[in-house]
Structure 1
């Protein structure tokens, strides 16, 4: 029995969660932000069956900023996120993470390993697992069968989970099943599931859709607190929420950047006004024809 115990302990040490084997480690995960820009999107084009989803799109995001992307449905917001995270390949252009990582020649897993995390609009938590277990499963560890079976959390990892629980406001719910959380709490948990892997850039898609006013306010506080140490890009349709968090807003239209600036500058931009008034007019005509 002693020999078996020693063997198990040896395996646990070999496969411990904080252990990164040299041949599995990324060759270079350091992000060069000497020019204070963490994301370069330059002259990106993407068409789907003749439809220009992205059209000579140029976007630059500074390291540590919180940027909001707005625009009507079909403006290219989700497609842009798909390209940044490697889910979709663009037709032409360049996308760099810092000055040294070309994202267009990397797969989704490689991009995530570099420190780019994405949260989709609908929460995708493990509802039959506890809040704590959801965060544990999201740690950046070897997910192979053997390492998963025999590994155990280190004190550093437990501290990391505790820190994230405090950040997302769910410390008092750590042993609650995720399925019992409110919609807003599930959104916060999913943000926490990104945070435990310590990403450098967070892409957040419509975080306050379906939330109560109180949850929306708490989400604004959460995302604002994350900026600085991390870079946060938020796609959102709720303009009051955007106003509450954004210093810089980028408006996309037909796959290109239409305008960029503070929320006040955007709301007074004549091009933005004309585009949105034109869309509202078309919707009114469509409703009139169908009535």
Structure 2
């Protein structure tokens, strides 16, 4: 199999999609997987995060909402090692300090992130995209030469079934619908068996049927994985929400069930009642 993608792009995939490998033991004895405490980030005087406190439990499906500029993307950037913070602490479990880890190291710990726009190898098959994601942390030359083991093929087959793309396994990724590309990228994260998944607007641009299927997928993932969904589509959030966190001006404005958030006076004023 040949991989015509540029080497630099493949090295990027090495960083983003770690291989299935033994991960550091995460202490979740208090049932909290992620601790974000007192985190602030400023850009040229603008406070993107302002003393942010956020706690994500092991195995939960959490929805994060907030108007543009609320701090959602900056928060994910800090947690995944993309952006340093001015102050505060971020822990994975009770003992792993994420602020002392690099972006690749954080990915290898089992924290995956899907960005808004799906980025797949469009000239390769669906199966080949998952194969490359599975092997990525072995290094680029390993990825070019090594053959899949039986368990690795079984893992890819499991993911194909989970993301509803088994019948499209030999189809070029570029010919998939927008929603299918979103599912494929989620699958490219899942082959590395992440403990914590951040999904940024996973249903943007999807059809109603694709959105419904995505809701089913995320509900299936919760429990085995901890899933944090950042989303603007309020109907979709209502369909999957268990706990909703509302960010505003870099801080948590409200948190609770969807009904509790919907009826929160400040949320109604600054977000749900706005044109965002």
Picking from 85, 108, 122, the partner of 1:127 is: 122
* Partner residue in 2 for 1:198: 193
1:42 is the counterpart of 2:37: yes
Picking from 79, 96, 103, the partner of 1:84 is: 79
Separation in 2, partners of 1:88, 1:71: 20
1:101 is the counterpart of 2:96: yes
Picking from 261, 269, 272, the partner of 2:267 is: 272
1:144-180 deviations in Å (ceiling 9; x for gaps): 3442343110000000000000000000000000000
Name the stretch that deviates more: 270-279 or 132-141. Answer: 270-279
Separation in 1, partners of 2:25, 2:72: 27
Q: For 1:33, what is the secondary structure of its paired residue? A: coil
Separation in 2, partners of 1:175, 1:94: 44
Q: Alpha carbons of 1:140 and 1:34: their partners in 2 closer, same or farther (altered >3 Å)?
A: farther
Q: For 1:139, what is the secondary structure of its paired residue? A: helix
1:62-116 deviations in Å (ceiling 9; x for gaps): 0000000000000000100000000000000000011111000111100000000
Q: For 1:237, what is the secondary structure of its paired residue? A: coil
The question of whether the paired residues in 1 share the 8 Å contact of 2:112 and 2:197 is answered with: yes
Question: Which protein is bigger by CA-based radius of gyration?
Answer: 1
Alignment of 1:200-279 (within 5 A): 200-276=195-271, 279=274
Alpha-carbon RMSD across the aligned residues, in angstroms, is 1.8
Point out where structure 1 has 5 or more consecutive residues left out of the alignment: 1-18, 284-291
- Structure with bigger RCO (C-alpha 8 Å, 6+ apart): 2
The question of whether the paired residues in 1 share the 8 Å contact of 2:66 and 2:271 is answered with: no
* Partner residue in 2 for 1:13: none
* Partner residue in 1 for 2:14: none
Separation in 2, partners of 1:89, 1:142: 24
Separation in 1, partners of 2:171, 2:145: 25
Separation in 2, partners of 1:54, 1:128: 39
Separation in 1, partners of 2:226, 2:90: 16
Separation in 2, partners of 1:149, 1:30: 30
Count how many residue pairs are aligned between Structure 1 and Structure 2. Answer: 258
Q: Which runs of at least 4 in structure 1 moved beyond 4 Å after TM superposition?
A: 277-280
Separation in 1, partners of 2:60, 2:34: 11
* Partner residue in 1 for 2:69: 74
Separation in 1, partners of 2:236, 2:272: 21
Separation in 1, partners of 2:270, 2:140: 53
Separation in 2, partners of 1:59, 1:142: 30
